[in-house]
Structure 1
Amino acid sequence: MGYKISDEMLGTFVPVLVYWLYSGIYVLLGSLEKYRLHSRKEEETKNLASKGTVVKGVLIQQVFQIVVAIILFKVVSKDEEINRASQPSLLLVVIQFVLAMFVLDTWQYFIHRYMHMNKFLYRHIHSKHHSLVVPFAYGALYNHPLEGLLLDTVGGALSFLISGMTPRTAIFFFSFATIKTVDDHCGLWLPGNPLHVFFNNNSAYHDVHHQLYGGKYNFSQPFFVVWDRILGTYMPYSLKKRKDGGLEARPVKE
């Protein structure tokens, strides 16, 4: 009888694999200059962290992510066969997805915003992520290990626990959240991107936040812009052509 990989292990490692595979697609698409939100020259001159440093930083965070996921699944999961036999209905899965999205958005908005408001935390913790003034796909999770643990890993754990989703559902939820996070940082505006159709929180929206003029706005991530709108930190944008043929997101007044 062959070895079966548990839902818990898939929920732990699949999102990591998805991160690098999806990022790799955007690396290949990065040569499409007319869809870039910043030129390659800007990426090279404005970013303060090298590509190698970014890769190492992301891998460190993913190690923390894996360890916490393994512990979390050990604590909350019972017999694996029971879990497989008692999967919820599709309707309940959808409800759990939406609830988990709201929990993750809420947690990340307030922690993210506080890291900007608190000068100590910004200078010593969150500024590492903002060293990428020109975001790119595999830099989505490049940040200080403490921020990665608090913002992403703890936020993910809370969304899992509060929504009540099973480890099997978690495979799909965290893979989707990973895709969305990478997409928001990809630095590209590709025509027909379905994520831009369903979510106003997108690569251009988050790019505004990474610019000097947007540092006090667009804190929401990774799904909706609800908290930005409610609490007055929403900065709309318009896409304009750059002189070199690419695109840029410029802030506009509502």
Structure 2
Amino acid sequence: MGGMVSDEVLGTFMPILVYWVYSGIYFSLNRFDNYRMHSRKDEEIKNLVSKGTVVKGVLLQQSIQALVALSLFMVTSTNEETTSFSQPSLFMYAKWFLIAMLVMDTWQYFIHRYMHHNKFLYRHIHSQHHRLVVPYAFGALYNHPLEGLLLDTVGGALSFLLSGMTPRASIFFFSFATIKTVDDHCGLWLPGNLFHIFFQNNTAYHDIHHQLYGNKYNFSQPFFIVWDKILGTYMPYSLEKRAGGGFEARPLKEKS
């Protein structure tokens, strides 16, 4: 690898840097009440965990992810080398990204859904993430360490391996996946947000899932809603102006 920092190191730590930079931007935008999905009061009252605890939880998960990623790169590096004389085409990058997105979506949908339907797993593991009834950006990766390992870290490893992407491609893919995940949890509906334009799986879609009435619906993350649509766990909603400013995602019909 050329340069002072290897692609493997960048692929490991760039998504972590992107996570905190991007969520920090959204944190600074939380002051604009006209774009919030929930009021400041709801965030203070409904959330069951402090922001300090959330930060510590995310840092723990990212530490585990970094160790797994570095180990994975060490094992696969001899088969994934890319020289300056043979750079992949844009078509190859698009192919890798699409496969990785589908793999990640499939893995996360079924693991995520199972964690909701298995009472033991929900009570002792996944409920930690749902302590954030009112999601915000830097809480996107606030999970139980076991869930973080199984859902995000293993899901990311499978996406990398099954897509066949190079470590260099992984820098861009996992940074993109990180931005998308943060965006889904940011709690803001900003005008002109490209994720809201190109993805049905967006901030409002995932906000429905974090509410009590949507707890068994809208499991898909982070890219598409294919599995929710196919398996009947999609909850349609409308986005409406909230009294006092901001927006609210309301289910078109509450499912039993």
How many Å separate the matches in 2 of 1:69 and 1:206? 27
The equivalent residue for 1:96 is 96
CA-CA distance at 1:58 after TM superposition: 0.1
CA-CA distance at 1:87 after TM superposition: 2.9
The equivalent residue for 1:191 is 191
How many Å separate the matches in 2 of 1:110 and 1:42? 30
Task: Report the RMSD for the aligned CA atoms in angstroms.
Answer: 1.5
Change (3 A) 1:156 1:85: farther
The equivalent residue for 2:245 is 245
Mapping 1:9-20, distance limit 5 Å: 9-20=9-20
Aligned length: 253
**8 Å Cα contact 2:80/2:166 also seen in 1:** no
CA-CA distance at 1:253 after TM superposition: 3.9
**Structure 2 spans left out of the alignment, 5+ residues:** none
CA-CA distance at 1:92 after TM superposition: 1.1
The equivalent residue for 1:207 is 207
How many Å separate the matches in 1 of 2:226 and 2:104? 12
SS at match of 1:77: helix
| Letter aligned with residue 107 of structure 1 | W
Superposed CA deviations along residues 41-67 of structure 1, whole A, max 9, x for unmatched, are 000000000000000000000000000
CA-CA distance at 1:82 after TM superposition: 4.5
CA-CA distance at 1:83 after TM superposition: 4.5
| Letter aligned with residue 18 of structure 1 | V
How many Å separate the matches in 2 of 1:181 and 1:161? 20
**Structure 1 spans left out of the alignment, 5+ residues:** none
**8 Å Cα contact 1:6/1:80 also seen in 2:** no
Amino-acid identity (%)? 74
How many Å separate the matches in 1 of 2:163 and 2:105? 13
| Letter aligned with residue 154 of structure 2 | V
Superposed CA deviations along residues 25-48 of structure 1, whole A, max 9, x for unmatched, are 000110110110000100000000
How many Å separate the matches in 2 of 1:80 and 1:169? 10
The equivalent residue for 1:119 is 119
The equivalent residue for 1:23 is 23
How many Å separate the matches in 1 of 2:6 and 2:79? 11
TM-score normalised to the size of structure 1?
0.97
Mapping 1:83-232, distance limit 5 Å: 83-232=83-232
**8 Å Cα contact 1:38/1:134 also seen in 2:** yes
CA-CA distance at 1:240 after TM superposition: 1.2
| Letter aligned with residue 205 of structure 2 | Y
